[in-house]
Structure 1
Amino acid sequence: MPPTDPHGDGPERPMKDAATVVLLRDTDHGIEVFLQRRVNAMAFAAGMTVFPGGGVDGRDADTTVRWAGPAPAEWANAFDCDESLARSLVCAAVRETFEESGVLFAGSGDDVVADTAEYATARQRLIDRDLSLAAFLAESGLTLRADLLRPWANWVTPPPAPRRYDTRFFLAALPAGQLADGATTEADESGWFRPEDALADAEAGRSMLMPPTWYTLAELREFGTVADALAAQREIVKITPTLERDGERLKVVLEGR
């Protein structure tokens, strides 16, 4: 008999691993974060304002990916998972960020890509699943730059949700010369926001944020620069919000937070 959902009547929903990248840049008014509003037709988090990211693809575990920076073993230690999954999560983070925002954490030698325009065709092929990340990097003579990412958090979709994700959050600075765009069919709006402004929009009802996004933005507003955020010491603890009914409203409870 399949395990039951402790918050519902049916079987427990299957969990999918996912990666999300919190993309930051410095401005004269403080740090800004790149956010996208998901189109209403999306099966998960429709209409929500989110960071770029998505589910792990089977090909993200390809060990032939050209790699520089912390080894999978270090990411496995940070996220408390095995090395194969750790490799997949980093690759998914790089791939999804490129697909959804055009930002690419890769380079040649010691140089990071400064203009991703020449890889527009490859970007679309990645989106269409006609090309794997490993093949794209090999064909382009590029190496994945895991050193540009930082482990930040681990959030799990609560059991009542019809789709559940075990999502690892990464932090990264926008590489010099690159531009983040909204050229994705998964979002109808994209842009840069100060964390406090994004939170104010949500509080005023102008946008909708999921608990992990809200909590992350609240953490980020405490940092003055991107370097400060990237240097923060993080203990990654798996967080699963609990939904409790308060009259006609559902309240999100974060145990120990």
Structure 2
Amino acid sequence: MRELPAEMVLPEGMVPDEPPATPVVPRDAATVVLIRDTATRPEVFLQRRVTGMAFAGGMTVFPGGGVDRRDSDTSVAWTGPDPAWWGRCFDCGPALATALVCAAVRETFEESGVLLAGPDETSVVADTRPFHDARKALEKRELSLAQFLSEAGLVLRADLLRPWAHWVTPIEEPRRYDTRFFVAVLPEGQRADDVTSEASDALWQTPADAIADWREGRRGLMPPTWMTLADLDEFDSVADVMAADRTVEKIIPRVVRRGGELHVVLPGDPEYPTADSEVGRR
């Protein structure tokens, strides 16, 4: 497993001095890394979360969010790998796999305006502007993804997604997510925007430039985002990313305190076993 940079420090206050006696049960969530080709290197779509948000406020992230109970609606029109296949990729049952894929498509549409759906199994919506009202209704939980697709005569294109990673928030944190990461190519004709209440700005960047911005202090990155960017930086094209043979393994980082600063350690790190019940102090 790739190592996190030694200079990666979590914002003070993200982890309480007294972690919960019993770890919070993480909420299932989905994150989608949108990618596109350029003349030189692939770019990814990133959003800076609004400062003050309960989770990762001010940090730069990929679109995504928690699974909604209505994401489990099995009536959703679907084409591509079935829920059983996704369940094998993410080590979960078909019901949760259905909800994760639906959440991935829904959250991507809500947060970036990119819709991974089309009139049939071979086409994708080229212009999402006619679905502006539905996007707002989805965001307000007034409409489910299954209802929206049915009323619009669209099918979810699960074949446009690829499984990428699986991260669980450290047990030391009071707000936790069990997040599956997907990658998807920006559909032709569509554009990603920043029309969401959860982001203060958004942009397309190469993974290398995004990491450079973090290193220079211009943006904050959480460990899963940094790791994903570092992995994607090894690919020369979108086609290579989508063809990558990924084995998805669950990663549960831990938090240790070194010299008064909060650092994240991963399985295999010598400090990892020392943080079994509380924030370690070094």
> Taking structure 1 as the reference length, what is the TM-score of the superposition?
0.96
Q: How far, CA to CA, are the matches of 2:19 and 2:193 in structure 1?
A: 39
- Per the alignment, residue 36 of structure 1 pairs with 47
Q: Is 1:98 the counterpart of 2:118 in the alignment?
A: no
1:141 partnered with 2:157: no
| 1:162 match | 174
Aligned partner (choices 127, 134, 147) of residue 122 of structure 1? 134
CA deviation string 1:206-248 (max 9, x = no partner): 1100000000000000000011011000111000111111111
Please state if 1:14 is matched with 2:25: yes
List aligned pairs for 1:1-257, cutoff 5 A. 8-109=19-120, 110-256=122-268
Letter in 1 for 2:257: R
1:120–1:9 distance in 2 versus 1, CA, 3 Å:
closer
* Equivalent position amino acid for 1:78 in 2: C
Question: 1:146-197: per-residue Cα shift (whole Å, max 9, x none)?
Answer: 0000000000000111100000000100000000000000000101011000
What SS does the corresponding residue of 2:182 show, helix, strand or coil?
Answer: strand
SS in structure 1 at match of 2:163: strand
Identity rate, percent: 61
| CA deviation vs aligned residue, 1:87-119 (integer Å, no higher than 9, x gap) | 000000000000000000000122111110100
Determine the C-alpha separation between the residues in 2 that align with 1:163 and 1:111.
Answer: 38
Q: In structure 2, what is the Cα distance between the partners aligned to 1:102 and 1:92?
A: 14
Larger mean Cα displacement after TM superposition, 106-115 or 138-147: 106-115
3-state secondary structure, aligned to 2:220 = coil
- Conserved? CA contact 2:86–2:94, under 8 Å: yes
Counterpart residue identity of residue 80, structure 1: D
Name the CA distance, whole Å, in 1 between partners of 2:253 and 2:23: 16
Q: Deviation at 1:256? A: 3.6
- Runs ≥4 residues deviating over 4 A: none
1:9: how far off?
4.9
Matching residue's letter, 1:16: R
CA contact (8 A) 2:59 2:220 kept: yes
Q: Structure 2 CA distance, aligned partners of 1:126 and 1:151?
A: 24
Q: Which digits, 9 at most, give the CA deviation of each residue in 1:23-76, with x for residues without a partner? A: 000001210000000001311010000000000000000000000000000000
Aligned length: 251
Query: Which AA in structure 2 matches 1:206?
Result: R
TM-score (norm 2): 0.87
Q: Please list every run of 5 or more consecutive structure 2 residues that lacks an aligned counterpart in the other structure.
A: 1-17, 270-282
Distance in 1 separating the partners of 2:226 and 2:26:
22
CA distance in 2, matches of 1:251, 1:85: 31
How many angstroms apart in 1 are the aligned matches of 2:20 and 2:198?
Answer: 31
Q: Structure 1's 9 and 148: CA in aligned 2 closer, same or farther, altered over 3 A?
A: closer
Q: Which ranges of structure 1 fall in alignment gaps of 5 or more residues?
A: 1-6
**Matched-pair contact (CA < 8 Å) for 2:20–2:174:** no
Aligned to 1:3: none
How far apart, CA to CA, are the structure 1 residues paired with 2:268 and 2:206? 27
Matched residue SS, 1:27: coil
2:112 and 2:194 in contact (8 A); partners too = yes
Output the amino acid matched with 1:164: R
Q: Does structure 1 retain, via aligned residues, the 8 Å contact 2:19–2:173?
A: no
